Copies of this chain bind each other. A is one copy, B any other.
């Protein structure tokens, strides 16, 4: 028997938990009813989870509920969490990875606490200088992995080189047939541009560039991220966080304006009848729920953070992401890349 892909899910994190998370689990089971190479270990309040499962008429031999009494609150600071979070759904979820009962963890709970306790429990990989939070971002040709998105406010060239290796490994686990193409986010594409740290990283990545690993494409400017000429965008956590959130805000601003324009009068409303399916496909392609899930990389096991405010569909997409990451052998890809880094 082949070992099953086991996903540990914190059912109690995020808004409207566990309703939303259980509904997301239901969607995942429905969409994957023809396969059974996975198992979902659900951590949280057994009674509440059972109720919701019953409500939604979900029953499957592929799910197992592990009861926990307490939950990490959204107001908890990471510092307080070290004391208070033991035996919460989030804690036990990640702990199950350490006990080799699961391959990956997923939570929509408090980000700061999740990063801190993941690191405490799983520990950083020996070869990594700093862990990073990676996100998925659509581009013209497919998907970008962007990292770091905020785990590390300040980074040096060794950290950024690690991020390139970790991000490439993630990309390869998700798209095994594609070549990771790494770019370094900067204010210009010429070699002389940017901070000293970026210039040193440029040199480092140039020497690491290699088909078995990743191809380094040089600097990239913010307006080229969506072009698709690279697929792994490396930056420090401060810049990455600002870039991601600015992109989110801009996308929302534009689509809000579009919605307003298309519902402003009877003619424009009429047009919606004809453009309904086209606009639906447009909306679907750019639906942020499809890209829900930031991946915490560099620990002895991957942890996925779902957006706290997402709905069941968004949560389903992050379960799917967990499944694909484990199926694509992320941890082996990372080890391979880090061995390469060590041998440099």
Report which A residues bind B (CB closer than 8 A).
138-140, 150, 153-154, 185, 187, 194-195, 221-227, 235, 237-239, 241-258, 260-262, 264-265, 267-268, 270-275, 277-279, 281-282, 285-286
Contacts and interface: CB of A to CB of B under 8 A. Distances in A.
A73 to B, nearest CB: 16
Contacts of A274: 267-268, 270-271, 274
A140 B253 CA distance: 8
B282 A257 contact: yes
A247 B247 contact: yes
A286 B271 CA distance: 21
Contacts of A244: 222
B194 A238 contact: yes
Contacts of A187: 150, 153, 237-238, 241-242
B252 A226 contact: yes
Contacts of A195: 153-154, 238
Choose among A273, A277, A278 the residue with the greatest number of B CB atoms under 10 Å from its CB.
A278
A221 B245 contact: yes
Nearest to A255: B254
A286 B267 contact: no
A275 B271 CA distance: 5
Listed from nearest, the 4 A-B pairs whose CB atoms lie closest are A222-B245, A271-B274, A271-B275, A222-B246
A258 B282 contact: yes
A134 to B, nearest CB: 16
Contacts of A267: 274-275, 277-278
A184 to B, nearest CB: 12
Contacts of A225: 246, 249
Contact of A223 (B222, B239, B249, B272): B249
B241 A243 contact: no
Given A246-B250, A250-B254, 19 more contacts: A138-B253, A140-B253, A140-B256, A153-B187, A153-B195, A187-B238, A221-B241, A222-B246, A223-B252, A225-B246, A226-B250, A242-B242, A246-B247, A257-B285, A261-B279, A261-B282, A268-B278, A271-B278, A272-B275
A185 B194 CA distance: 19
Choose among A154, A227, A275 the residue with the greatest number of B CB atoms under 10 Å from its CB.
A275
A277 B246 CA distance: 29
Contacts of A282: 257-258, 260-262
